[in-house]
Amino acid sequence: MANAGADQTLFKCTPVAICWAASATDPNNNIDSVTLVSGPGTYSGGQICFTPSVDGVYTFVLRAKTPAG
């Protein structure tokens, strides 16, 4: 299960990078990878980071991949 945290509302006067914790768990502890599959920015080191360019609502989707079988 991927977890990108709770919905948030932020106000910034100037465009600056925004980062927050995001992770994935698996009951068998065998996650191969976690990737950001939708949304602006990047996922690395257990966090999503992006710099908004305009006001708006942004949605992020993480995918946790486990071995087949």
Backbone phi and psi for residue 49, each to the nearest 5 degrees, phi listed first: -130, 140
**Tens-place pLDDT, residues 6-61:** 888 888 888 899 999 898 888 888 888 899 999 899 999 899 999 998 888 888 88
Q: What is the rounded CA–CA span in Å between residue 22 and residue 6?
A: 10
Name the residue ranges covered by the structural domains of the chain: 2-8+16-65
**What is the predicted pLDDT for the residue at 50?**
93
CA separation for the pair 9, 43 (Å, rounded): 20
CB 3 within 8 A of CB 60: no
The answer to whether 2 touches 35, Cβ cutoff 8 Å, is no
